[in-house]
Structure 1
Amino acid sequence: MNAPSRSSTRGRRRPLAALAGCACALALTLTGCGVPDSAEEAAGWTFTDGTGAEVALPERPERVVAYSGIASVLWDYGFEVVGVFGPAETAGGGRDPQIGDVDLDRVEVISQTYGEMSVERLAALEPDLVITQVYDDVDWYLPEGGTDQIEAVAPLARIQMNGVPAEQQLTDHLDLAVALGAEPEDPRVTEARDDFDAALAELDAAVEARPGLRVMAVSAAPENFFVVNSAAGGALGMFADHGVSLPETEAPDTDQFERLSWEEADKYPADLLLQDARPGRTTLAELDDQPLWRDLPAVRAGQVGDWPAETPFGYAAYAEMVSGLAADIEDAEPLDH
């Protein structure tokens, strides 16, 4: 079954302006931010992760192994990891969206299988730090009960995903990159941030031009019809904050999806449908064989787009996703249900 995974989030880019200040605050802290390297080395390096745990090292880590969705954001901001784990290549040999622009010829892909990690391959990279996402107390893509072995190789830092709004996630990932040595005034950072702000302005304009247009992101699979729950936060929560009309599902606020049968697929009226575009999920072409899908008003009207769930929390990637949603809203019209 094409079951949804824990996190959720589309494509196009734009032009950009300046990010002020040193992004060292919030959840991630670098001791000595803004001071000369010699003083920083004397003070050491500390990092308070998303669980509140503090990682302390004698100096700023240089050899970092990270979950692919984190590695891609760090890479965009100019910090190059030495190894990754998590989605990197698709079954067909293409690049998984979560790996972004990471040069796979220059990094070690330790594992792409959930719950597996070769401690020997990890140790061979001699990492200073390992970074992953965490959902409540579940370390994403790491072996259950295996973190002690990993932490015997290098300290483990975690970015909390549950209950953290998308715009805070964007800030936290940038703060992480800066803590690792990325320059907040680097054009790769300032341009990406301005690109994101411009995309949000496009979205606001599109929503204003299509008042009341009902949008629904789904993960339609052969056996079930999953509706993304905006109350769980993430990108959909951000879209709701910008006026996008999304269904109020009956799923608990902490659940990413409400699971429906195909006979219930019309439970929430939608003028624009966005289908889960993650690798391995049911494609729009495959859904054409499902009569209950073809009978939905948005599908009959041709108002269907892609939903790039699990877009990495980088400003450039989010700008593409937001800009794409704005274009889909602009191209859609309210429908009679």
Structure 2
Amino acid sequence: MPNAHHSPLSRRGVLAAGGAVGLGVALAACGNSDDDKGEPGAADDVKAGPWSFKDDRGETAEAGSVPKSIVAFTGTAAALHDYGIEVKGVFGPTTTKDGKPDIQAGDLDVTEVEILGNVWGEFNVEKYAALAPELLVTAQWVEGELWYVPEQSKDKILKLAPSVALLAAETTVPKAIRRHADLAESLGADLGAKKVTDAKARFEKAAGRLRAAAKSRPEIRVLVGSASQDLFYVSLAEMSADTLYFQELGVRFVEPKVNAQGFFEELSWENVDKYPADIIMMDNRSSALQPNALTSKPTWARLPAVGAGQVVPRVTEPIYSYDKCAPILEDLAAAIEKARKVA
């Protein structure tokens, strides 16, 4: 993930660096099934013949048969993997500098996929073409823009295969999960597999737990943060799919005075204590500085939430499967349940 803090703050670059966007809708249900299969996977009776899928841009991707050679943004590929749909290539944060899987790779075996680009602005069109792609899948944070598909090579890329974009903004976690599941099902996934239905049940239980925790601790205020070397970003909860959903469940967030783009407020490290908070949720992406890298900043160390050990990771770009989103709800519920009022 590139550090867009070092370049002019375009709306797209800002999203890649420190903030996340989204407006939302309420929980969308996923169909149940009595199927007792132990693992998710492509159904044996995938329909032959033409395939189509209407994406969140309102555009319909079409193919003569169900696409098999799929290339996707890393986090989207990880969600498809959880439903048993594998991709041939990925783009976006996939491996860290030491070669380990990036947080956004989820359970993907990063050694088994072609990595077309690992940072912002990187997408190897020649490698993409060599995969004979039948479908390109990514997220949409800003209308008209495909996440991690470089603007300068977008036209070449989109000529090679149909594309699908799934909302990461103007949605909430449950609806985003549903849309990823819809796509996976169209590609042959069995949503009745036991692993999928068990994960859905866990997610719904976790949502109930978070709602109960927020209701029982109304005094707890949560700050949504992201750190760079020079600035600390405080995000507005309602502008992100995850935190908007948490807000709908009753979590109370700090409300910063956002910039003109509306997503977050930039604070100097001298002013990082502007907003009292009992819990700080810190952007866990590889593009952001993590709490262990902030120990040299005295103003950070003096924050009450830091002193109380009430700093928790924020999965800023969730992998939209029930399996990966349930723990996010559980972890925030646990943090609120045991938090001390410190601000």
Q: Which whole-Å CA distance do the structure 1 matches of 2:152 and 2:108 have between them?
A: 29
Asked if 1:199 is matched to 2:206, the reply is yes
* Equivalent position to 2:162, from 155, 161, 178: 155
Which residue is equivalent to 2:306?
Answer: 299
Aligned equivalent of 2:27: none
Q: Tell me the TM-score normalised to structure 2 length.
A: 0.84
* Pairwise CA distance, 1:262: 2.3
In 2: Cα distance, 1:225 partner to 1:195 partner: 34
**Cα shift readout 1:131-177 (whole Å, capped 9, x = no counterpart):** 11222222211121422212332112212333222221111111111
8 Å Cα contact 2:55-2:164 kept in structure 1: yes
Question: Match of 1:234?
Answer: 241
Report what 2:275 is aligned to.
Answer: 268
- Output the TM-score relative to the length of structure 1: 0.85
Q: RMSD in angstroms over aligned alpha carbons?
A: 2.3
SS of equivalent residue, structure 2 residue 151: coil
* More off after superposition, 276-285 vs 126-135: 276-285
1:129 is displaced (CA, Å) by 0.7
Secondary structure at the residue paired with 1:138? coil
Counterpart of 1:105 (choices 111, 114, 139) is: 111
Runs of at least 4 residues of structure 1 off by over 3 A? 1-9, 252-256
Asked whether the 8 Å contact 1:277–1:283 carries over to 2, the reply is yes
Q: 1:164 aligns with which of 159, 168, 171?
A: 171
SS in 2 for 1:205: helix
Contact 2:257/2:264 (8 A) holds in 1: no
* Counterpart for residue 230 of structure 2: 223
For structure 2, the 5+ residue unaligned runs are: 6-13, 22-29, 34-42
User: Separation in 2 of the partners of 1:213 and 1:283?
Assistant: 23
Pairing 1:20–2:32 present: yes
Q: Deviations over 1:169-211 (max 9, x none)?
A: 1111111111111011012321221121121122123223322
1:90 corresponds in structure 2 to 96
Q: How many residue pairs end up in the alignment?
A: 312
**In structure 1, distance between residues paired with 2:283 and 2:123:** 27
Per-residue CA deviations over 1:235-291 (Å, capped at 9, x if unaligned) read: 010111011110222226964322122233222221111222222422222222211
Does structure 1 residue 47 correspond to structure 2 residue 53?
Answer: yes
Give distance in 1, aligned partners of 2:20 and 2:199: 20
The aligned residue for residue 10 of structure 2 is: none
In structure 2, what is the Cα distance between the partners aligned to 1:302 and 1:114?
Answer: 33
Percent identity of equivalent pairs: 35
Q: What does the per-residue CA deviation read over 1:76-104, in whole Å, with 9 as the maximum and x for residues that have no partner?
A: 11011111111110112221111111122
Distance in 2 (CA, whole Å) between partners of 1:252 and 1:235 is 20
Amino acid at match of 1:68: T
Inter-CA distance 157–325: structure 2 relative to 1 (3 Å threshold) = same
CA distance in 2, matches of 1:248, 1:235: 15
